[in-house]
């Protein structure tokens, strides 16, 4: 390996998938502390590219290219959750770079400069980078197909050598109809969530992408853990941007929140 390649690899940003939580994450001291500690343990990014479960738009679209109001895409919460601000700088230069990496004939990348960060982006970022001083760009999910999202992640991988933190944001299990509404978020999870979480953690540890891509059929309770797959889909962008060989991978946050698995992982 020549000196340039060695330096690029040493400076490479990791890629992450995190379970972002609902707005009340701000009341969970342990989870907030875990996210803050995670950010401090990583190299400081030049910019952050977020792919959130809460923005599906095809073709691929970039938003928050400048500082615009947040998208409070949730309902029925106390007013204080709608007063949260996160005026992170926009990243128009990153939008151009993303468009250059993803654009292929017949598949343009759109720009929606009025679209702000949704709660899948800003809820964790408030805890990880509370000063809102790192430029943030959000990229839509153009599809829920795991194989296509792996390709999207692979095309974005060069950004890692340019100081960009690629962040998939979803929830490792996500069934709001079947979640366990208990007096405290630490209550024991239902079996479907615990079984899927264990299966997923083991599949990630052995880098079994084939099984992960077919998770609704291969995992125990796959359809119950994800009756719709948008919260698992950002994981495949993360995995696509990761190298299959030679990169450390680990679960940084685990456990459950009202029965939903909050497993969050880092590669690199």
Amino acid 24: pLDDT: 83
* Cα-Cα-Cα-Cα dihedral sign, residues 118, 70, 166, 240: positive
> Of 170, 175, 171, 169, which Cα lies nearest the Cα of 225?
175
**What integer is the mean pLDDT of 133-148?**
97
Amino acid 181: pLDDT: 67
* Burial call 116-155: b when 16+ CB within 10 Å, e when fewer: bbbbbbbbbbbbbbeebebbbbbbbbbbeebeebbbbbbb
Q: Rounded CA gap, 168 and 59, in Å?
A: 18
Domains and CATH numbers, the chain: 3-267 (3.40.830.10)
Q: Calculate the CA dihedral of residues 268, 103, 147, 232 and round it to 10 degrees.
A: 60
Residue 5's pLDDT band (cuts 50, 70, 90): very low
Q: Rounded CA gap, 215 and 163, in Å?
A: 31
Amino acid 239: pLDDT: 97
pLDDT digits (tens, 9 = 90+) for 150-205: 999 999 999 999 999 999 999 999 998 777 666 677 788 999 999 999 999 999 99
User: Do the Cβ atoms of 42 and 267 come closer than 8 Å?
Assistant: no
Residue 235's pLDDT band (cuts 50, 70, 90): very high
Which tokens belong to 184?
A: 């405290």
Contact residues for 172 (Cβ-Cβ < 8 A; gap 6+):
19, 196, 197, 200, 231, 232, 260, 261, 262, 263, 264
Amino acid 227: pLDDT: 95
- How many degrees, rounded to 5, is the angle at CA 73 between CA 31 and CA 143? 90
pLDDT digits (tens, 9 = 90+) for 200-223: 999 999 999 999 999 999 999 999
Residue 8's pLDDT band (cuts 50, 70, 90): very low
Residue 10 pLDDT > 80? no
pLDDT digits (tens, 9 = 90+) for 54-105: 999 999 999 988 889 999 988 788 889 899 999 999 999 999 999 999 988 8
User: Do the Cβ atoms of 64 and 132 come closer than 8 Å?
Assistant: no
Amino acid 66: pLDDT: 87
Amino acid 243: pLDDT: 75
Residue 245's pLDDT band (cuts 50, 70, 90): low
Phi, then psi, of 54 in degrees rounded to 5: -95, 10
pLDDT digits (tens, 9 = 90+) for 11-58: 799 999 999 988 888 889 999 999 999 999 999 999 999 999 999 999
Which tokens belong to 14?
A: 């990791």
Amino acid 7: pLDDT: 38
Look up tokens 């691929």; give the residue. Answer: 60
Q: Rounded CA gap, 233 and 162, in Å?
A: 24
Amino acid 11: pLDDT: 77
Residue 3 pLDDT > 50? no
Which tokens belong to 198?
A: 């264990």
Residue 264's pLDDT band (cuts 50, 70, 90): very high
Q: Rounded CA gap, 140 and 151, in Å?
A: 15
Name the DSSP class of 95.
H
Amino acid 1: pLDDT: 42
Between residues 187 and 3, the one the model is more confident about: 187
DSSP per-residue codes, 163-215: TEEEEEEE-SS--TTTS---SSTTSPPPHHHHHHHHHHHHHHHTT-HHHHHTH
Residue 6 pLDDT > 60? no
Amino acid 9: pLDDT: 58
Q: Rounded CA gap, 151 and 148, in Å?
A: 5
């Amino acid at each position: 390996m020549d000196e340039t390649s060695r330096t690029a690899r040493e400076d490479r940003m990791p890629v992450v998938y995190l379970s972002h939580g609902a707005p009340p994450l701000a009341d969970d001291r342990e989870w907030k502390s875990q996210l803050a500690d995670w950010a401090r343990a990583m190299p400081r990014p030049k910019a952050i590219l977020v792919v959130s479960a809460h923005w599906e738009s095809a073709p691929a679209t970039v938003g928050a290219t400048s500082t615009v109001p947040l998208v409070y895409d949730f309902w029925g919460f106390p007013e204080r959750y709608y007063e949260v601000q996160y005026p992170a700088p926009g990243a128009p230069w990153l939008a151009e770079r993303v468009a250059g990496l993803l654009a292929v004939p017949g598949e343009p990348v759109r720009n929606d400069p009025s679209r702000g960060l949704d709660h899948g982006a800003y809820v964790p970022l408030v805890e990880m980078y509370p000063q809102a001083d790192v430029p943030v760009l959000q990229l839509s999910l153009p599809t829920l197909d795991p194989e296509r999202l792996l390709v999207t992640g692979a095309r974005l991988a060069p950004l890692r050598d340019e100081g960009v933190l690629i962040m998939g944001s979803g929830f490792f299990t996500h069934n709001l109809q079947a979640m366990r509404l208990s007096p405290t978020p630490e209550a024991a999870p239902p079996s479907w969530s615990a079984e899927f979480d264990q299966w997923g953690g083991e599949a990630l540890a052995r880098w079994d992408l084939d099984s992960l891509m077919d998770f609704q059929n291969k995992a125990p309770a796959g359809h119950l853990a994800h009756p719709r797959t948008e919260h698992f889909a950002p994981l495949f962008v993360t995995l696509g941007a990761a190298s299959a060989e030679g990169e450390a991978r680990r679960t940084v946050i685990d456990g459950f929140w009202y029965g939903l698995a909050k497993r969050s992982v880092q590669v690199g």
